[in-house]
């Protein structure tokens, strides 16, 4: 059966997938969502897994997780953040390589929506302020939460989707890029990330 872009997936998306919840939240006795506490160092969570994903030592040496000076990174054109503000990033390019809508089933599931809106940037154009700290990963190709490309990148606290990371580029979600306070700033934002 072929899916259409406007079909809603309410039965599938009514509850948070168990892979995102600690063991305590998936038991029948648990009636309250457990409290997550962000830390600045790796620690074991309720599932016994480290909050810091595997492979972060290697990934910290390359963009977009590599710490770079303001001079090395260049002028900041855009800033973005997750819903709770724990994950913040900067972009040094005014326009993406391309902006697109994707209607594939994976994007529908990730965003709980009929499609995703993505802006494609080279990894060098993106800088996470805290490196990989505060990020969670899921590789649907490899069915793992360990860092392996291609991967989906989320905030580990509020679970806001930040981007899909491929081998050479990142597909950022423009909804998380700050659009400004004035009408002129919002218009500039719309034009920069418009799908052509």
* Residue 109: CATH number of its domain: 2.170.150.70
- Does any domain span residue 151? yes
- Does any domain span residue 28? no
Residue 192's φ and ψ, nearest 5 degrees, are -65, -35
**pTM for this one?**
0.67
Q: Which domain holds residue 181?
A: 50-192
Statement: residue 156 has pLDDT above 60: yes
- Does any domain span residue 142? yes
Query: Total structural domains in the chain?
Result: 1
- Does any domain span residue 182? yes
Instruction: List the 78-81 sheet strands across, edge first.
Output: 78-81, 88-91, 126-128
- Does any domain span residue 114? yes
Q: pLDDT tens digits, residue range 32-91?
A: 433 433 333 344 444 444 444 445 557 777 889 888 888 999 999 999 999 999 999 999
Residue closest to 99 by CA, chosen among 174, 162, 166, 163:
174
- Does any domain span residue 35? no
Rg (CA), the chain: 17
């Amino acid at each position: 059966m072929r899916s259409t872009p406007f079909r809603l997936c309410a039965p599938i998306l009514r509850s948070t997938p168990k892979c995102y919840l600690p063991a305590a939240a998936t038991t029948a006795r648990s009636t309250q969502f457990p409290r997550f506490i962000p830390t600045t160092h790796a620690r074991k969570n309720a599932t016994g897994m480290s909050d810091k994903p595997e492979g972060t030592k290697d990934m910290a040496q390359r963009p977009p997780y590599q710490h770079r000076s303001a001079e090395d990174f260049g002028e900041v054109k855009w800033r973005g953040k997750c819903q709770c503000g724990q994950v913040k990033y900067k972009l040094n390019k005014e326009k993406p390589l391309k902006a697109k809508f994707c209607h594939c089933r994976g994007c529908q599931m990730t965003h709980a929506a009929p499609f995703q809106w993505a802006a494609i940037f080279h990894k060098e154009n993106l800088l996470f302020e805290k490196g990989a700290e505060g990020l969670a990963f899921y590789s649907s190709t490899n069915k793992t939460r360990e860092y392996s490309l291609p991967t989906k990148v989320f905030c580990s606290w509020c679970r806001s989707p930040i981007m899909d990371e491929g081998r050479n580029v990142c597909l950022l979600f423009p909804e998380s890029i700050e659009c400004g306070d004035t009408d002129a700033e919002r218009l500039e934002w719309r034009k920069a990330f418009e799908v052509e």
